[in-house]
Amino acid sequence: MCMVIFAPLFAIFAFATCGGYSGALRLSVDCANKTESDLSIDIDFAYPFRLHQVTFEVPTCEGKRREKLALIGDFSSSAEFFVTIAVFAFLYSLAATVVYIFFQNKYRENNRGPLIDFIVTVVFSFLWLVGSSAWAKGLSDVKVATDPKEVLLLMSACKQQSNKCMAVHSPVMSSLNTSVVFGFLNFVLWAGNIWFVFKETGWHSSGQRHLSDPMEKQSSSYGHGGYNRDSYGPSGGYNQSANLGQPAEEFGQQPSGPTSFANQI
């Protein structure tokens, strides 16, 4: 039940916080010649974080000439991979929820449904682990590439001591941090569901049968052994009593010999 409730929600939070992100940073370049300064340089970037395509113009503090720069890095592969996993996990969890509720009989028919569910759950657990780890590394690289101090190093005007370059504000990365957290929460949720799905498969039931067969054989053999001992006991006692009875009869017949001899005399 937890899987049915939380899997779609966690998947939504994962791809919404990552795929819907857009950030910005603002820089200022105060040239020695104030007329050449630019105190509001806005740089906008967003998902899928192809930062090398994000361009902006800054003053060179050498007359009216401006230079065109771009951020460094392309982190689209890890971000798109993470969002793709989240979208497909969301769609599958919705489909699985519908099957669990409305098609329970067909789900258990021929044991095919539980086996497919088990395999898909294992695959998604592995993908969530890989995707979340890759995106966590990609996010750390995005933070470095969009750090205002790193961007200022790209400007030629900031390499001159007479000019003053400052960061007005940095991008807010809280939603991206949340996406990584939900990515690993999804891994924990799907990995924890493996055991519950496995119990629905025929592999689990067949394993229980194999474990119960030796115990049944052991109990049956113990019952047969007890029966043999019981049957042996009465027979042994009967033979012993018969054997004890025979000497008594023989001993009782011995005095009759002399008595009959005396009568004859």
Computed over every residue of the chain, the mean pLDDT equals: 80
Residue with tokens 């899987």: 3
The tokens describing 126, both together, are 């592995």
Residue 18 class from Cβ within 10 Å (0-12 exposed, 13-18 middle, 19+ buried)? buried
Contact by Cβ (8 Å): 24, 45: yes
pLDDT at 203: 59
> Which pLDDT belongs to residue 170?
94
pLDDT value, residue 5: 77
Task: Pick 57 or 97 by higher pLDDT.
Answer: 57
Q: Tens digits of per-residue pLDDT, 2-17?
A: 566 789 999 999 999 9
Q: What is the pLDDT of residues 19-64, one digit of tens each?
A: 999 999 999 999 998 889 999 999 999 999 999 999 999 999 988 8
- Once rounded to an integer, what is the mean pLDDT over residues 229-254? 43
DSSP single-letter state for residue 157: G
Tell which wins on pLDDT, 204 or 110. Answer: 110
The pLDDT of 242-251, averaged and rounded, is: 42
Q: Is there a contact between 183 and 135 (Cβ–Cβ < 8 Å)?
A: yes
Contact 51, 205 (CB under 8 A): no
Q: What is the pTM of this model?
A: 0.73
Distance CA 125, CA 92 (A): 13
